[in-house]
Structure formats: structure tokens, C-alpha cells
Amino acid sequence: MKSKIKIKDLVVVISFLGVLYTLFFINIFKAPDDLSFSERRRLAQFPQISSGSIMNAEAMAGFDDFAVDQFVFRDQFRSIKATFDMNIWLKADNNAIFVVGNHVFKTDYPLRENGIRRLCSITNYMYEQHMQGMNVHYAIIPDKNYHLSDSRHLSIDYGYLAEIVRSSTRDEIGYIDLFNVLSLDNYYMTDTHWRQETLGDVVNTISMGIGSDLRFDAGAYAFERFSPFHGVYFGQSALNVRPDELIYLVSDITENAEVTSVEQPGTLLSVYDTNQLGGMDSFNIFMHGPQAVIRAENPYNESGRELIIFRDSFASAIAPLFLPAYSAVTLVDLRYIRPDLVGMFIDFSDQDVLFLYSAGIFNNSDSMRSPDQQEFVSPFIARGAD
């Protein structure tokens, strides 16, 4: 009997050591990856070794980050951990990510009043510097969590957020209410963003608020499809969730619009950058994703009427749908250009102006540049892998 126990223990020890050393040698010979598509970030690389980095422990700290990021089967182990946390330990979320029905959500809590007022002060600054007397409006895009009725998860008070924004924004800037226009069906299941093909009512609501006679006509577009679309939450959740289908709306106007970016002078771009499909973030197909200032001109509209949208990433998807009513639509992202330098690239005159930000950006406005942030030599702010 004792001999059988010893043999069993020996088998366990040998198996454990076999797995341990197998993973060890695989990690030694595995070429390091530059990017994690599931986590949408750059992975730590092997640190530079020098006497100085060894003495101040930078080398060891860098190696710790490298070892964790480059560990073989990293995504599989993340998935196992997430499954145990959610299904075995019955945790409400996995690193603030949780699933309800077919939708993946991320907790954004608590409400940060100072951050909300900060973004409002930037909006007021832009109005005071460039837009007095112009047709200027703003709207708040509620995020997915606003439509979640599951009370187990923390959620900010969206009514109070909207109240803070209205009380902190100049009265001359008109408010367009989108909270009752959107539902959970307007958002991707695995991503934070809204689906372009569902935004007809949003286009109509904003157009009426601005004073435009544009009404969305789905029949004017061909619906192009791409799948599978793995949204930002697909990899972050590390769970077995169903990917989305990405649909983008194509017309003669979107196909022939002349798109230019101040970051790529002299280069003629397109409304839809299909090279982004299947890449790190397929949602960047819309207006080339993050851009400081990007402009689309409609060759079929000679009215001279223009729309300027101060925005986050949500507006990339809806901007092409405003083109039929305008000679040009310009997007400005103050995460990547200082507010006091916008006038270098836009001649403000009698354009329609819309400040269109998601509730998440209001509640986390640290990414937005203030006019007093003078430490940047270039007007454009560098972007990482995301």
C-alpha cells in the first residue's frame, strides 16, 4: 500500500516538474510579441541591461513586466481565471468587466464631478474664443451602462451627470437630449461604441436640434458587413462571448468625399479606412479612428454650409451620416490637440458646431487637453497602440 502511495506521489511530482520545465523552456525560446490584440495594448519587452539599471532595480522591474506580458498561453490562462472568477467564485465582475445577456459591460464608477465640470470649462473656452454668435449645440451620449437594469453592478447617476453638464455649460450653447433616443440595441455587444447602422433616429434628433432639414434615409446607403468584429471588451473580458458584426453605410457621397487630416498634409484619405478591418481596432474604419482634426468634403453639396463636431471616438461613426446636408464635416478631437491651437487649423465663421461627447468622456475627462497645458511642443498629442 505504501509503495503505491509513493508511486502516486512520484508521478504527481514528475508531472508537475514536467509541466513547469516545459513552460520554462517554451518561454525561453518563444519570440516576444509586440502587441496584444485581445488586450489592445503594447506588451513589455526585454529591458535594457546596464550597470545603472541593475543598481536602481529598473532592470528587474522591467523583467518582471516582460515575464508577465510574454508568458506563453497568456490569453488561455486569463480565460481560465475569468471563468473561475465569474462561474465558480460567483464574482460580479472580472476586473470591472461583466456580462449581462449577450452584452459585455465595464463598470465606470464613481461619478467624478470635477472631471465633468472640467470638460464643460473646455467647451466654454472654445465657445468664447471662436464661436460667439454661431449656431452651437452639445449632446451627451449615454454609455451602455445607462441602459442596464441589473442593480448588482455599480453605475453612476446619469441624470445628475446631465444636470452638472447643463448647469456648467454656457446658456448660449443649446442642449440636444439623446438619452431617450438610444437603447441597448444601438450598441455593439462586445464594444463600448454605438452601431452606425442603428443611428438614424440619432441623426434626425441632432439635425432637428441644430436646425438642419436632414432626415436619415436608409435607402440611400448600401450596408457593407464585416465579421467577426471583436470589440474592446471581447479581449478584456477574457470570457467566451460571441463576437459582433460590424456594418458600415456606403453611398456615392461617402465613396467620393474628399477626406484630409491635418496630421497627414497632402494625403487624400477616405471616409472608411477598410484597412483597419481585422486589425487592432476595427472600429477605426470610421473616419480613420483617432485624429486631431479630420475633414470630409461632400462634392455633391454646394451650399457652403459646414458642420464642426468636437468629439470622442463615438462621433467617427455618425459623422458620415451628416454629409448629405453639408458641404463639409470637420471632426476635432481635443484628446490629441490643445484647445488653444485649434484656431491654427480651422477658420471659424458661420459653421454649425456640435460638441458630442460620451458620458464616459465627461466622467473621465483627464484625457482631454486644457488650453493651459503648454508642455507640448507639437500641437498634436502622440497616440499609442490603442
**pLDDT digit string (tens) for 227-242?**
999 998 887 766 778 9
Residue 272 φ then ψ, to 5°: -115, 120
Write down the pLDDT at residue 30: 67
Instruction: State the cell numbers at 137.
Output: 449645440
- SS3 (DSSP) at 72: coil
The pLDDT value recorded for residue 93 is 73
Q: What is the pLDDT of residues 19-67, one digit of tens each?
A: 665 655 666 666 776 656 556 666 767 667 766 656 666 656 665 665 5
Helix axes 158-168, 113-126, angle to 10 degrees: 40
Structure confidence at residue 75 (pLDDT): 63
Alpha helices in 215-364 (DSSP H): 232-237, 252-256, 315-318, 359-363
Check residue 234 and give its pLDDT: 85
Show the beta-strand stretches assigned E in the chain.
35-36, 41-42, 97-100, 103-106, 135-141, 174-176, 222-229, 244-250, 258-261, 293-297, 306-311, 328-332, 352-358
pLDDT of residue 10: 73
> Identity (one letter) of the amino acid at 174?
G
Q: Look at residue 378 in the predicted model and tell me its pLDDT.
A: 44
* Torsion angle (degrees, nearest 10) of CA 188, 274, 380, 293: -80
Classify residue 346 by burial, with Cβ atoms within 10 Å: 0-12, 13-18, 19+: middle
CA atoms within 13 A on the CB side of 287: 29
pLDDT value of residue 101: 87
Low-confidence ranges of the chain (pLDDT < 70): 1-5, 9, 12, 16-30, 33-42, 44, 46-47, 50-92, 237-238, 372-386
pLDDT attached to residue 217: 97
